[in-house]
Amino acid sequence: MRALACVLLAACAAPAPPPPRLPAHAADAAVAATVDAPAVPPVVDAAPGLTAADVAADLATLRATLDALHPGLHRYVTPAELDAAFAATAAALGDRPRVADVYLALARLTARLACGHTFPNPHNQSDAVAAAVLDGPRLPFAFRWIDGAMVITRAFVDDARLAPGTRVRAIDGVADGDLLTRLLPLGRADGSNRAKRLASLEIHGGDRVEAFDIYLPLVAPTISPPYALKLVAPDGQVRQIEVAAMSAADRVAAAPDPAATDDAPLWALTWLDATTAYLRMPTWVAYRTRWDWQADLDRTMAAVARRKGARLIVDLRGNEGGSDVGDRILAHVITRPIAARGTERWVRYRAVPAALRPPLDTWDASFFDWGDDAIATADPAWFRLADEPGAATLAPARPRFRGKLVVLVDASNSSATFQFAWRVQTLGLGTLIAGRRRTTPSRRPSRRCSASASPPGSRRSATARSASSWRCGRRPRSTRWPPPSGSPR
């Protein structure tokens, strides 16, 4: 179980800005909702049981690591509140918890932090945890939460009854609204971004395992295949049907993960007509691929730039980020150098304490020891990370794309994709298009958002203020075209 508890920290050791402590009333409603979440019966799994001592030891390791490394640990919870949350987690798990119980408890506990990078990452689990929690049956369709309703967007099987636009009113008698109430306290997002929480609890396809697949049997153990579905078709017809489950392997075959292999292209350009280029980019997780994505993007931008009167649509819907792929696109759009990022990077440590190293793992060993790149500040609890040589600015690249740039965004965007879209908008480099949606059936999204670029004790930066409307799930304003005066286009 120690691996399960400690993989939560992989992203927290990465560069992240240190947010100031916010008052309790500013914390996201979804964080508060975890306190009042309905009790869920324990899930039976075949893995060996754990003991209370196992849980206590792992929770102690997790808490020590969070205290030492996490840059936003006490933004939404005080140390006393976190003490109480850890104690309540240990007490709720009892003397002989199952692996599935622990996974659910850690998801609920880490959601209290309102940090989108702190959660039990299903891609980092051991075979034992995967067998107990991750490899269960799958629903045969993708869906989105729209106005609190579960709406099918795609069927993974040949079944006309699962047409896009069909609402799933209930699964095995559990209403979709009830499911959402149980799931929402487990959603991951930064601060008050409730739309992102909902997006994290949908099924999109294209990933080996999705959060909904994991949490459904944990929060609703009465649901099991074959699934009895109550549907409302797009024409309003109500029907009761039964569908078989898919295996994890069948789901992956029906909706492959573009990043599953280390040499396959992650995206490809298509032409919708003679002048409209469409670049669907489902992922920017490019740091582990052998595919030369930089050269591919240079060729893509050159092809679009050569087409007279061309416009480029970059579709980032469902893309949670990864590498700074967007810089390669922007380099062919700008006419003068621009700042490579609009934030400073602050961390809590210069080197990971030796006692915390054994259970930690990461894709980049430099996270363990920043060395001289971690610059001491007036506050001994914080270090500012220096930029890599040449990384402070983004220089123009040839050939230049002079046409119209349109970026399709949604609530899934975060990290690198969020920063890319923010720069397109604020620098007047193109137009953002995003759909509206209410984030819950009865409550409007909170307008209190996280400040993503503020050093300790400072006021919110202009970057954070201008980005806040999108973080809250509201539609960003469309950028004017042609670009405003002073734009680097």
% helix, strand, coil for the chain, step of 5: 35, 15, 50
Taking alpha carbons only, the member of 266, 313, 324, 331 closest to residue 488 is 331
CA dist 361 and 365 (Å) reads 8
Mean of the pLDDT values across residues 314-337?
A: 94
Say how far residue 8 (Cα) sits from the centre of its chain. 14
CA dist 291 and 361 (Å) reads 24
Query: Following DSSP, what letter does each residue of 359-426 receive, concatenated?
Result: T---S-GGGGB-GGGEEE-SSTT-EEEPPPTT-SEE---SSPP-SEEEEE--TT--HHHHHHHHHHHH
Predicted pLDDT at 342: 66
Residue, of 333 and 486, whose pLDDT is higher: 333
Task: Tell me the pLDDT band of 391, cut-offs 50, 70 and 90.
Answer: low
Tens digit of pLDDT for each residue in 463-485?
222 222 232 233 333 333 344 55
The model's pTM is 0.76
Tens digit of pLDDT for each residue in 171-200?
999 999 999 999 999 999 999 899 999 999
Mean of the pLDDT values across residues 125-133?
A: 89
Backbone angles phi, psi at 475, to 5 degrees: -70, 130
Contact 172, 227 (CB under 8 A): yes
CA dist 345 and 45 (Å) reads 42
CA dist 258 and 63 (Å) reads 35
Mean pLDDT, the chain, integer: 81
Q: Is the pLDDT assigned to residue 261 strictly greater than 90? A: no
The CA dihedral of 86, 87, 92, 93, to the nearest 10 degrees, is: 70
Tens digit of pLDDT for each residue in 55-64?
999 999 999 9
Q: Are strands 383-385 and 374-376 parallel, antiparallel or unpaired?
A: antiparallel
The CA dihedral of 387, 455, 342, 439, to the nearest 10 degrees, is: 130
CA dist 184 and 253 (Å) reads 28
Predicted pLDDT at 458: 32
Backbone angles phi, psi at 311, to 5 degrees: -125, 150
**What SS3 class is residue 138?**
strand
Structural domains present in the chain: 2-134 (no CATH), 141-254 (2.30.42)
Task: Tell me the pLDDT band of 487, cut-offs 50, 70 and 90.
Answer: low
Tens digit of pLDDT for each residue in 404-453?
999 999 999 998 999 999 999 999 999 999 975 443 333 333 333 332 33
